Amino acid sequence: MASKRTAFLFSAVVATSSAIVGPARAQPYPSQDVHFICGFAAGSGADVIVRYFAEKLRPLMGHSIIVENKVGAIGNLATEYVARARPDGLTIYVTGASGVAANMHIFKNPSVDAANALQVVATINKATMMLGVRADAPWQTAPELSAAMKLKGDKASYATANPTSKVLGALYKERAGLQSVEVPYRTGADFLNDLYSGNIDYALPDNIQAMAQARAGRMRILAVGAGERMRAAPELPTMTELGYQMDVRTWWAGLVPAATPRPIVDQLNVWFNQVVATDETRTFLANIASDPWVSTPDEAQAYFRAQIKDWGDYVRVAKIEPQG
């Protein structure tokens, strides 16, 4: 009888110990503050999106989300930082994934292989870069701008500030038969004074910056780089319908180091999708002329890999010489 009682007590102790140890091993995610990485400067169009999602995801995650701006090499610095971070779901790259894909070809020797170093946890939107001029410029349409730039020859100039604007600018130049000189800027905000003072003839801003400047009455948007009109801004013509064949789309996503455990990837996908599905976020995205996009991690990763290949084609067609 004593031996049976001893065996029962031993079993109870083991069961209790297991109940304590089990949860301790599987701590809830996240167990501490999360860091959102932005590859561009505070106040930039990219920063606006990153901070919006940080604010909306904070209550779902139950921890503070700290936004860090890792600026340099048109986003490459941030890409490398995230790829080399601990794969614990606490470092999340909220960025234009199209820019990450483009950088794999704009630079001769990228510091990381993005297709294998990063995992897309969720998509956010689809958008495009835009062709813009100052609001008081004499050109009302892209063909009018093209005609004027042809007359200026290599005295014409345009501004770019990220990989996708660089490609769109080169494609427009090639398709329109221009000799315009590219002037690269560190951020989109940096070229505004030069554009509005007339030192730069036109610019290829992202949708966020372009729409904000247009609503403020400072910029006129002449066209978008996507192959079809954006649902969020159907009044804006595409470059293709104006005679400049191209389909340069941008898209935003959340990415983590590739070795991040699948349960964390799946949980992040659920949270991001919840935020994208809200009316508030859909209005936010519409206001920056972008269309919401929800997908699974597997769908998003497959698209990311395909985009890396596609951007190689864009860079070659645009005749961009890889840097460094």
Residue 167, domain CATH: 3.40.190.10
| Claim to verify: residue 280 and residue 305 sit in the same structural domain | yes
Do residue 142 and residue 228 come from a single domain? yes
* Residue 227 CA neighbour count, 13 Å, CB half: 4
What whole-number distance in Å separates Cα of residue 73 and Cα of residue 102?
12
Q: What pLDDT digit, counting tens, does each position of 178-194 carry? A: 999 999 998 888 999 99
- Residue 118: inside a domain, yes or no? yes
On whether residue 26 sits in a domain, the answer given is no
- Tell which of 242, 270, 297 closes a domain: 242
Residue 44: predicted pLDDT: 87
Q: Are 128 and 291 in contact (CB under 8 A)?
A: no
Q: How many domains does the chain contain in total?
A: 2
Please indicate, yes or no, whether residues 162 and 306 belong to a single structural domain of this protein.
no
Q: Are residues 170 and 204 both part of a single domain? A: yes
Q: What's the CA gap between 11 and 37, in Å, rounded?
A: 48
Average the pLDDT over 30-46 and give the result.
Answer: 94
CATH at residue 286 = 3.40.190.150
Query: Is residue 24 scored above 70 in pLDDT?
Result: no
Question: Are 262 and 115 part of one and the same domain?
Answer: yes
- Looking at the fold, whether 223 and 256 belong to one and the same domain comes out as no
Average pLDDT, integer, range 163-183: 94
Task: Quick: pLDDT tens for 268-303.
Answer: 999 999 999 999 999 999 998 899 999 999 999 999
The answer to whether residue 8 scores a pLDDT higher than 70 is: no
Alpha-carbon Rg of the chain, whole angstroms?
A: 24
User: pLDDT band for position 309 (50/70/90)?
Assistant: very high
pLDDT score for 26: 60
Select from 191, 214, 242 the last residue of a domain.
Answer: 242
What was the pLDDT predicted at 262?
98
The confidence band for 116, taking pLDDT boundaries of 50, 70 and 90, is very high
* Residue 18 pLDDT greater than 50, yes or no: no
Choose between 19 and 231: higher pLDDT: 231
pLDDT classification of 38: cutoffs 50, 70, 90: very high
For 258-275, write each residue's pLDDT tens digit.
999 999 999 999 999 999
For helices 262-276 and 279-287, angle between their N-to-C axes, nearest 10 degrees: 80
